Amino acid sequence: MEHTKATPPPWSVKVEYDGDLGLSITIPEIDRMLNDSDWADHGDWERDLAHARLIVQAVNSYSDLLAACKAALEKVRDQKTYGQLDAAISKAEGKS
């Protein structure tokens, strides 16, 4: 199965306000709106903002975290830790 390449980092979160009222939360690099005052429940604002920030942090740190796991895998001697690192790397690379 061939995977489509993702939009490369860095990604960002763009938040628009009108005074204290949140208007929209977008990730402009992928042209995705996670919340808009025209259609979203205002009570979801904080949750949607947290989700947007988590998505962006994950994308922006992915390569560095994967490289750190692979470097640690080369040095680890404990079988349990080795298995955890190997599983994490496989998951991050979409192999599990």
Express each pLDDT in 50-81 by its tens digit.
999 999 999 999 999 999 999 999 999 999 99
Query: Residue 2 domain-assigned?
Result: no
Query: Residue 4 domain-assigned?
Result: no
Q: What's residue 5's pLDDT?
A: 84
pTM of the model: 0.81
CA distances from 74 to 7, 47, 86, 87 (A): 29, 38, 10, 14
Its domain, for residue 65, covers 14-92
Measured CA to CA, the distance from residue 87 to residue 90 in angstroms comes to: 5
Q: What's residue 94's pLDDT?
A: 87
Cβ(16)–Cβ(66) under 8 Å? no
Tally of domains in the chain:
1
Query: Residue 56 domain-assigned?
Result: yes
pLDDT band at 4 (very low <50, low <70, confident <90, very high): confident
Does position 1 have pLDDT exceeding 70, yes or no? Answer: no
Query: Residue 83 domain-assigned?
Result: yes
Percentage with pLDDT > 70 across the chain: 97
Q: What's residue 3's pLDDT?
A: 63
